Each structure stands twice: as C-alpha cells, then as structure tokens.
Structure 1
Amino acid sequence: MSISGDQNNPYNQPQPHPYGQVPAPQNPVPAQQNPYAHQAPPQGPAGGYGYPASGMPAAPLGAPGAPDGAGRGMSGWLWAIGGAVAASAIWGSVLFATGGFSSEPSPDLAGYGYTSDLCAETSMTPFENADFKTKANTGTASKNTNPQHSGAQQASLDTMWCNVSLEKENASSSDYSSTWLYNTATLHKKTDPAPEFADGYRSYEKQDASVGYRVEAVPGLGDEAFLVTRKDDGSTNSGSYVILGVRDGWMTYQSTWSSYASSRSSTKPPTADEVATMLKTSATETLKRLQNSRSR
C-alpha cells in the first residue's frame, strides 16, 4: 500500500545536481567511509582557500549509477575549484584596495625641490667673471622685465624657467649684439625621463638642416649630461649657440646660451668652448641650490 505523503516528499524525488545531471544522494555516506575525510584541506585565509574554518556541510560523496568513488572525485574537485576561485577573488580585492596591483612608479626626484623663481637659484658667477652683466630693464612693462621667470606645479610635472638678457661690460651703445641665457628645470612626477633623454640630444646630430651640431657626453653632472654645440657656418657675423642638458633621477635641467654680434661690434664674444665651461660651472652650482630649496 502506498502512502500518499510519499509523492509530496521532496527527498523522495531525484534532484538536479548543481554540476551535472546526476541526482543528489538520499543518504550521504558516513564521514568515516570517505577516503578523503582524513586529508587536511589546503590552508589559507579563513580556514583554507575561502573555506569556513569549521561548520561546513559535507559535500555529496557518491551518486547512484556511477562507479564507486567517481562521484566523490568529481565533487571534491568542484569544491576545491570553487574554493580557489573564492580565495582568488578575496585576495584580488585586497590587492586592489591596498594598491597592490598599481603599476605607477615612484618618482626619483633625487632631492630636488620646486621653486617659483628659478632666476634666484641660477648661478650667474661664471658669466659675471667673463665680464657679462644682466642687461638693465628697458621699461616697466612685464615683457621688458629682465630677468624673467615663471613656474607651475602640476600633477605630472613641476616646471620652472628663467630667461636672462646679458651684455658685455663697457659695451658701446652702437654695438649690435644680443646674448640670452635660457634655463629650465623640470621635475617629472609620473614618467621616468631616462629612456628618452639621451636620444633627445643625440637627435641634433641627425637632423637634416643647413646648420650642423656636435653632441658630446659630459661626465660628472647628474646621472647623465650632454653638450650640444652649433658648428660654425662660416658667416661674417659672430655668435654661438650652446645647450647643456642634465638629468639627475627624474629631474631634467637645460641651460641654453644664444649670442649674436655683428662684425662691427667692439667686443669679442666668447668661443663655444668658453661658453660650455661657463654653462657647466653654472649648472653645477644651480643644481646644488635646487636640491637645497627642498628643505626651505
């Protein structure tokens, strides 16, 4: 005689297996018959790969119609995979929260600091020793101010620059000449300038232009330094164009000398080699001051 309640009993009907078409067992095998019962699960946070430390219900160990042990093996693998995925998700969220996945490098500013007035930090002594002086202001307008300076602090770069117009001591008012010193300093806070620094100056030698340039490495200044000198074009006018570039960590510095004098000028301009010496001497002292400015 059948009992009517059997038809409504959910445990008396085959149930879909969460990982296949295998019905769930009605009577799980006792824990002592499980060959894996005495194996310690892999340990990790919260008891091992995301498993609770205790109180986990036993997984189905067998399945009717399957070879002995097949259901147990499949179930064990599925539980292990699920635990590993859970552990990976937990560990990944921890890394994201703490910045463990961040690939943003830390800037090496080599002790240099920002200043809003690079002119105040620029050493003018080498130029003064060569009988150059800062040209007097020609008016009150900002465009006529000498020297001129500016700077800006931004998320990725701190930039500073200083332009100085120079003239020879006791130069005649009828002399037609122009001498400028342009200085820039940049603190790179997001990108390391090292990979491109040398090529930026070496490119002067490779450019297709009527005026050629000579590029040479300068030892003893920062991590690397280069001197760019314009070759004499043989014109009747006398002048020089020399660039000194220095990289120290993620700080880059450039000092540029540009001078022009007509053939009627009563003063003789310095040679390119003399200018190079002045730039290197000035840069050495200026960079020391920029490092000290960080503590002011």
Structure 2
Amino acid sequence: MSIPGETPNPYGQPQPHQPPQPPQQSPPQSPYGQPQPHQAQPLQHNPYAQPTMPSVPLGGYGPMGTPPGAPPTGSGGGRKGWPWALGGAVVASAVWAGVLFATGGFDGEAKADLAGYRYTNNLCTATDAQTIEDAGYQQEDGSANPQHSSSEDPALDSMTCNIDFEPNDADSDDYSSVWLYTTASLHKKTDPAPEFEAQYRAYEEQKTSSYSYKVSPVNGLGAEAYVVTQVSKSGSDTGAYVILGVRDGWMTYQSTWSEYLSSSSSATAKTPEEATAMLKKSARATLEKMKE
C-alpha cells in the first residue's frame, strides 16, 4: 500500500509467490522491469548505467539474466541494492579513467616512452669517439669533420653524426676509408618496437656475389639490440662493415662502422668481431650522454 502523495517506487519488485503482472499500456514499463517467464524480451536501455571497463559487467549478472546494475529480486526489493551497484560503477569508472589518463587513451594516442633520452642539435657532442681513438684511430683533420645534422618535430626528432677516422699506424701514401656514422631518433607518436627487429632481419635477404649479411641479437643494450655484419665471400680481411641497432623505449639508435684499407696498407683493419665490440662500448657511453 502506498501513502497518498508519495512518488511510486520505480524499482519495486513483485511479491513472493505472485507472478509478475504484464506491463500496462500507460505509463510505459520501467527500464528495470524483468522479462516475463518463458518470454524473450528485448533488453531495455538503462539510462542510468555508468561506463565500465571493457568486458567487465557492472556489478555482475543477477538471477534470471537480469542486466548489470538492476536492483536485486526478492522480498527485499526497493532500493536495497542500488547504492552498492552505483558505488561499484563509480569505482570502475574511476579506474578506467585512470587507465585512459595514464596511456593517453582519451586522445586516441599512447604516451611516448622516451626512456629519459633527450633531443640535441649536435649528436656529435654526445657520440663517444674516445672508444674509437683508444682502439688505434684518430679523427681526420678538416673543418668538415665531424659533421652533424638534426631535426626536431612534434612526431619525430632525428639526429645524425658522421666522423671520419684514419689508422694511427697508416703511412701517408696508404689509402684508407674509415668512418663512424651515428643516428638517433625520438619517436613521439608511434612505438617503434613492433617493427624494430624486422628492419634488421631484412638484411639477411640482401645478398650479392661478393658478400652477404649476418644478423645477431645483442644483450645488455637498451630493451633490444641487433648487430648486422657484412660477410665477404672472398674472405678479404681489408676491412669491416658493421651496424649496431638499439631500441630503448621509443628511442632508436644506430651506429655504423665502415673500414676499408688498401691491400698494400701498413695498417691492419679491425675484424668484424673487433668492430662489434668497439661499437657496443661506444654505444653504451653515447646513450648515457644522451640522457644528460
């Protein structure tokens, strides 16, 4: 029985042992009304439903397939279960909002993980050349050595450095071509991880009549790293060509060692293994400087 003037309870449930009454033509059926036994009823839109995390029902599914958030059935009826359901919705919504803020999901983009690396307009100042010099080389004299370039962009920061070297024990009339080329990129919009390994594995398919490439993973550098070694089919030991690629978060780094000495040179070229060890040591020092 209701008190005159009291607003009808929209969540009222049928009394125990009494079958639910079919909805009247007027007023319209409550959006929380239960379907009749043995009758398939379309699920009504719940205007009070709170957004939840994907695939996580609001408060779970109740008896007889009631939709998430609907008041519980039984003699308790009324508004007994609604505050709990509403509280669960608020908590779930807050958690989901926190996830979106943390990942940048509100604007449809993940937040770039630059792992502490910073843009510099002169990568040569961060590139570790001391490791190369300690291995028996000196930088060639000239106003154009070293050379650097850089580009800062909202989507991608790019930096390069090229340094020409010559062996310390080379004669003045020896021909040599020795250089270290370093690049670094800060990816601000796209995670480079899914494609990083594939970029270096692609070298394995590049073969000529003179050489091929060998690709190997490297441990202890960034999140992942690979070394690409050019293998001469003639067995020549007059030089080495080695590429080292490193990814740390959304930062990618690559250093390339290229050395060629004439067969008559008095100097001795580095083996691919020696060049690889040299690049690893130089990369560690360079990456540390890029965080300063």
Q: TM-score range by the shorter chain?
A: 0.5 to 0.7
Shift of 1:33: 10
1:126-166 deviation digits (Å, cap 9, x = unpaired)? 211121011011xx6xxxx0000111110111111100111
1:206 maps to 205
Shift of 1:87: 8.7
1:220-267 deviation digits (Å, cap 9, x = unpaired)? 000111111000231667221000000011100000011111112121
- The alignment yields a C-alpha RMSD, in angstroms, of 3.3
Mapped to 2, the partners of 1:109 and 1:194 lie a distance apart of 12
Over 3 Å counting, the alpha-carbon distance change for 1:87 and 1:250 in structure 2 is closer
Are 1:74 and 2:10 counterparts?
no
Amino acid at match of 1:241: Y
Amino acid at match of 1:286: T
Amino acid at match of 1:105: A
2:117 maps to 112
1:37 maps to 8
1:240 maps to 240
Matches within 5 A, 1:169-188: 169-188=168-187
Q: 1:237·1:262 contact (CA, 8 Å) conserved in 2?
A: no
Mapped to 2, the partners of 1:217 and 1:135 lie a distance apart of 32
3-state SS of 2:186 partner: strand
1:197 maps to 196
Mapped to 2, the partners of 1:114 and 1:161 lie a distance apart of 11
1:102-121 deviation digits (Å, cap 9, x = unpaired)? 22000110000011111111
Are 1:84 and 2:47 counterparts?
yes
Over 3 Å counting, the alpha-carbon distance change for 1:237 and 1:100 in structure 2 is closer
Over 3 Å counting, the alpha-carbon distance change for 1:114 and 1:38 in structure 2 is same
Amino acid at match of 1:84: P
Q: 1:224·1:248 contact (CA, 8 Å) conserved in 2?
A: yes
Over 3 Å counting, the alpha-carbon distance change for 1:83 and 1:276 in structure 2 is closer
Mapped to 1, the partners of 2:124 and 2:150 lie a distance apart of 11
Q: 2:157·2:185 contact (CA, 8 Å) conserved in 1?
A: yes
Mapped to 1, the partners of 2:263 and 2:219 lie a distance apart of 35
3-state SS of 1:71 partner: coil
Mapped to 2, the partners of 1:262 and 1:222 lie a distance apart of 36
Q: 2:112·2:189 contact (CA, 8 Å) conserved in 1?
A: yes
1:291 maps to 291
Mapped to 2, the partners of 1:233 and 1:201 lie a distance apart of 20
TM-score (norm 1): 0.67
3-state SS of 2:107 partner: coil
1:39-93 deviation digits (Å, cap 9, x = unpaired)? 359xxxxxxxxxxxxxxxxxxxxxxxxx984213635459x968829999xxxxx
| 5+ residue gaps, structure 2 | 13-20, 33-42, 52-96
Mapped to 1, the partners of 2:4 and 2:45 lie a distance apart of 24
Mapped to 1, the partners of 2:3 and 2:153 lie a distance apart of 65
3-state SS of 2:47 partner: helix
Are 1:158 and 2:112 counterparts?
no
Amino acid at match of 2:111: S
Amino acid at match of 1:72: S
Over 3 Å counting, the alpha-carbon distance change for 1:158 and 1:278 in structure 2 is same
Over 3 Å counting, the alpha-carbon distance change for 1:72 and 1:164 in structure 2 is same
Mapped to 2, the partners of 1:169 and 1:271 lie a distance apart of 17
Mapped to 1, the partners of 2:226 and 2:120 lie a distance apart of 24
Q: 1:118·1:161 contact (CA, 8 Å) conserved in 2?
A: yes
Shift of 1:100: 5.9
Shift of 1:205: 1.2
Amino acid at match of 1:124: A
Q: Which entry has the higher C-alpha Rg, 1 or 2? A: 1
TM-score (norm 2): 0.68
